[in-house]
Amino acid sequence: MKKRHFETLAVRGGAEVDPETGALVPPLHLSTTFERDPDGGYRRDFSYSRSDNPNRRALERLIAELEGGEEAAAFASGSAAAGAVFRSLRPGDHALAPREMYHGIRSLLLQALIPWGLDLTFVEMTDLTEVRAALRPETRLIWAETPSNPRLGITDLAALADLAGEVGAVVACDNTWTPPPLQPAFELGAGLVVHATTKYLAGHSDLIGGVVVAPRGGTELFERIRFLQRNEGAVPAPFDCWLTMRGIRTLPYRIRAQQEGASAIAHFLAGHSRVERVNYPGLPDHLGHDVARRQMTGFGAMLSFEVAGGEEAALGVAARAELITRATSLGGIETLIEHRASIEGPESPTPDNLLRLSVGLEHPDDLIADLEQALA
């Protein structure tokens, strides 16, 4: 079969017309358990929903296809998915992680996985010289988050994969901010791709989920990730899988419009007298612009900006927003603004004048007007 375009895969992938009823929309399978055959087997391939479920399997097949991977393992949250990746290592294995990353995963690493036995080094992942210096013969995993949360640093994934290959390590790329087809991580050399499906894939701020995708040909780490998924049971409910698939059907068109809005807003903020800095890789003066242009098909719909006047001024801008909602999370159809340092706590490396913006599907002119009055 000829290769399909991404839009076609998003609409048609992962499920077929129901053979029993002819329904175009996949049925919801809520059953916890499934009937055994008279001989004790499971010819229909399902036994217990912790291990597998028709809705989860359809979602995993769809996401693997969209990312150009072999298979996927869906989890109850993005944090559960990330945790499974790190725990697929053995105690004493060495891993690298970026200094700037989603604070929830950083907290998980510091408070749970390092005490468990993970040997971890934090590095400036955009500095390949620092990455090379931190590699060891026992390095097994490099966790990449690009663009980074919340200042949108850009890591050269192809170069990072080359470095990982020198010691036999796997690059796991958190693609949450770059849903397919924005960043083809497997084509750039990544060995695993991770998403919080809560965000752009589901896209409607109405569920929690995560996924780990393996490349074609598989990887030993993914076999252990699958074991953890099925035996620990941190899996999404069938309805959450069904909702995520429904969200993915419109993903290509949502992300296209959201990117357009983010670009317009970034250029507006870059010219505003009360904004000290705009972090958006689509701006030509962004430090990672050239790398982002090379490895991404679009610059995404996330940005952050730093307000002149410090923390009080930044909080004031967020407080005066009328259309834009003050809330955690990202990737939904509504535009959200958040003061990240106060969310991340006193140990946060995030500047206290930084506001993070997740651009939704409202008209960009209305969003710009709201930011203009808030900044005034």
Which residue out of 56, 57, 102, 340 is catalytically annotated?
A: 102
Which residue out of 174, 240, 249, 356 is catalytically annotated?
A: 174
Yes or no: say if 194 and 174 are a contact pair by the CB < 8 Å rule. yes
Six token digits for residue 153: 């640093």
Q: Peptide bond before 147: cis, by omega within 30 degrees of 0?
A: yes
Strand order in the sheet with 69-75: 69-75, 210-215, 192-195, 170-174, 139-145, 94-98, 119-123
Which residue out of 57, 199, 254, 340 is catalytically annotated?
A: 199
Q: Within its chain, how far is the Cα of 267 from the centroid? A: 25
200 catalytic per annotation: no
Q: How far apart are CA 270 and CA 305, in angstroms?
A: 9
199 catalytic per annotation: yes
Indicate the helix (H) or strand (E) that contains 294.
helix 289-295
Q: How far apart are CA 196 and CA 85, in angstroms?
A: 13
174 catalytic per annotation: yes
DSSP 155: -
Which residue out of 50, 230, 293, 320 is catalytically annotated?
A: 50
> At 303, is the secondary structure helix, strand, or coil?
strand
From residue 374, how far is each of 280, 324, 337, 343 by CA, in Å? 20, 10, 12, 21
So which residues are the catalytic ones? 50, 102, 174, 199
